[in-house]
């Protein structure tokens, strides 16, 4: 008989497979390379930039170049090089922050921040759709669950209600002796909508006038897309001096890996002493630091200025406009519904809300994504638990390198899938795409030996 843990793991995986929630690594990456990319986070197409590649290669050929490999140590031991320190100074200057601290990933940065900054008597208030890393950090913090409150997504009214309730219940909050930490993202990765940051800042300052409301903004998906030279939404709105902490990651528009926390020198020093993902991890490799440096140079040189980014936002508006015009309110077949989220319905009159992330809400995300892949477009299904139940979708991510013809072709393919209704046309292609994944996933799960 199999060990108890094997039985338990097999049952859990089999349950996920049965419910259509099983995750697996793509067994056919070479095949996907031939598809038009509407899936990756390479928003400004730095990942395919020959100029960026040449910058990195040239830096490695310089006589005084640091070793490509290493450092094989935590930064608190022997891993803190002049290269790391220099990048942090450059990041702080570029993003108009007092200081910067490198982390190996945005996940590490958020977990490190949220785990240690708040005191056990503090409160945490956060948008319910913030990233999993923020949720993990909050759960690992000293703040008890009863003092961690979520507000409705992008609802300034609900945020204000929660802050007023907390202030009325907690005298120490009213007097400014206790802190309230507010967590939001600037651009939400699954919905593609922007946070109303100006209104959020105003609401926090009004509800907590003694200055004990501290806002932490995750700018992972807005880095490179908004603000002067891609400095992010906080800088675009002139709020850098009113937001306590920002997290900028390098794995999306900057086409690298890692992240930086932008904060005061005091917070930076505190994180160096208490942020466990930083303390107990090997430092970013020299090669990774060099890559981020060169990507940052590209931003500084104007590769992400408004003129360069206008094609991305133009393509987003074009896709949404075409879909809004072609998708029927009532599809021929209920299982082939595709809807745009409410914040995109008025995109024609509110162009500032455009982002390169376009969610296609559907009850059949896997069949739709498979059909689109069969038509030559790489998109991915997003299901629970990545998004709430009932909010499944296919996520479309646009890039500077995409063309009008590619966007129009994608819109036509989505409309074709919807309008085919209960017909069988196209199902063979979709089944061919889905079949490999289903077979591979099922093969990875032996039957539970109970």
pLDDT at 446: 47
pLDDT at 28: 64
Give per-residue pLDDT as tens, 317-327: 999 999 998 88
pLDDT at 307: 67
Q: Given 3.30.465.10, 3.40.50.1100, 3.40.640.10, 3.40.50.12780, which CATH number is that of 56-300?
A: 3.40.640.10
pLDDT at 67: 74
pLDDT at 434: 45
Q: pTM here?
A: 0.89
Domain regions of the chain by residue span: 27-44+305-443, 56-300
CA-to-CA separations, 334 to 21, 342, 359, in angstroms, rounded: 21, 20, 19
pLDDT at 332: 75
CA-to-CA separations, 3 to 7, 11, 442, 449, in angstroms, rounded: 7, 13, 21, 9
Give per-residue pLDDT as tens, 231-240: 999 999 999 9
pLDDT at 302: 87
Q: Does 56-300 match 27-44+305-443 at the fold level?
A: no
| DSSP code at position 355 | -
Residue 262 CB coordination number (10 Å): 28
pLDDT at 346: 60
Top-level class of domain 27-44+305-443 = alpha beta
Q: At what angle do helices 404-419 and 306-326 cross, to 10 degrees?
A: 20
Which of 236, 204, 202 has the alpha carbon at shortest distance from 219?
Answer: 236
- Over the chain (450 residues), the average pLDDT of each successive run of 10 is 93 91 75 85 93 91 74 90 95 98 98 97 97 97 97 97 97 96 97 96 97 98 94 96 98 96 98 97 94 96 76 90 86 83 66 79 93 95 90 95 96 93 47 44 43
* DSSP collapsed to 3 states, 376-424: CEECEEECCCCCCCCCCEEEEECCCCCCHHHHHHHHHHHHHHHHCCCCC
């Amino acid at each position: 008989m199999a060990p108890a843990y094997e039985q338990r793991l097999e049952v859990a995986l089999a349950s996920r497979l049965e419910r259509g929630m099983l995750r697996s690594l793509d067994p056919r990456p070479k095949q996907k390379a031939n598809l038009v990319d509407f899936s990756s986070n390479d928003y400004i197409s730095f990942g395919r930039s020959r100029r960026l590649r040449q910058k990195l290669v040239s830096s490695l050929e310089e006589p005084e170049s640091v070793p490509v490999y290493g450092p094989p140590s935590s930064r608190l031991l022997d891993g803190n090089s002049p290269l790391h320190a220099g990048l942090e100074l450059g990041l702080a200057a570029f993003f108009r922050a007092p200081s910067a601290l490198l982390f190996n990933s945005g996940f590490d940065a958020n977990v490190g921040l949220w785990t240690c900054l708040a005191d056990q008597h503090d409160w945490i208030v956060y948008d319910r759709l913030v990233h999993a890393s923020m949720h993990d950090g909050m759960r690992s913090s000293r703040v008890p669950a009863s003092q961690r409150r979520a507000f409705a997504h992008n609802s300034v009214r609900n945020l204000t209600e929660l802050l007023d309730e907390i202030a009325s219940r907690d005298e120490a909050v009213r007097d400014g002796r206790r802190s309230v930490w507010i967590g939001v993202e600037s651009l939400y990765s699954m919905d593609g909508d922007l946070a109303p940051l100006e209104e959020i800042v105003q609401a926090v300052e009004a509800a907590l006038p003694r200055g004990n409301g501290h806002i932490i903004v995750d700018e992972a998906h807005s880095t490179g897309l908004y603000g002067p030279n891609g400095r992010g939404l906080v800088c675009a709105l002139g709020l850098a001096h009113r937001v306590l902490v920002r997290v900028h990651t390098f794995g999306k528009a900057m086409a690298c890996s890692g992240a930086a926390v932008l904060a005061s020198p005091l917070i930076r020093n505190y994180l160096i002493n208490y942020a466990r993902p930083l303390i107990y991890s090997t430092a970013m490799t020299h090669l990774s630091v060099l890559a981020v440096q060169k990507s940052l140079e590209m931003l500084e040189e104007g590769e992400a200025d408004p003129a360069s980014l206008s094609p991305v936002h133009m393509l987003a508006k074009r896709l949404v406009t075409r879909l809004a015009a072609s998708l029927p309110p009532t599809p021929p077949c209920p299982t082939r519904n595709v809807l745009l989220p409410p914040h995109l319905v008025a995109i024609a009159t509110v162009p500032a809300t455009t982002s390169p992330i376009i969610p296609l809400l559907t009850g059949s995300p896997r069949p739709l994504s498979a059909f689109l892949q069969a038509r030559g477009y790489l998109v991915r299904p997003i299901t629970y638990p990545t998004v709430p139940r009932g909010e499944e979708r296919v996520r479309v991510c646009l890039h500077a390198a995409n063309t009008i013809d590619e966007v129009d072709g994608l819109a036509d393919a989505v409309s074709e899938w919807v309008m085919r209704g209960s017909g069988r046309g196209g199902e063979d292609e979709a089944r061919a795409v889905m079949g490999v994944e289903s077979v591979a996933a099922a093969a990875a799960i032996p039957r539970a030996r109970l």
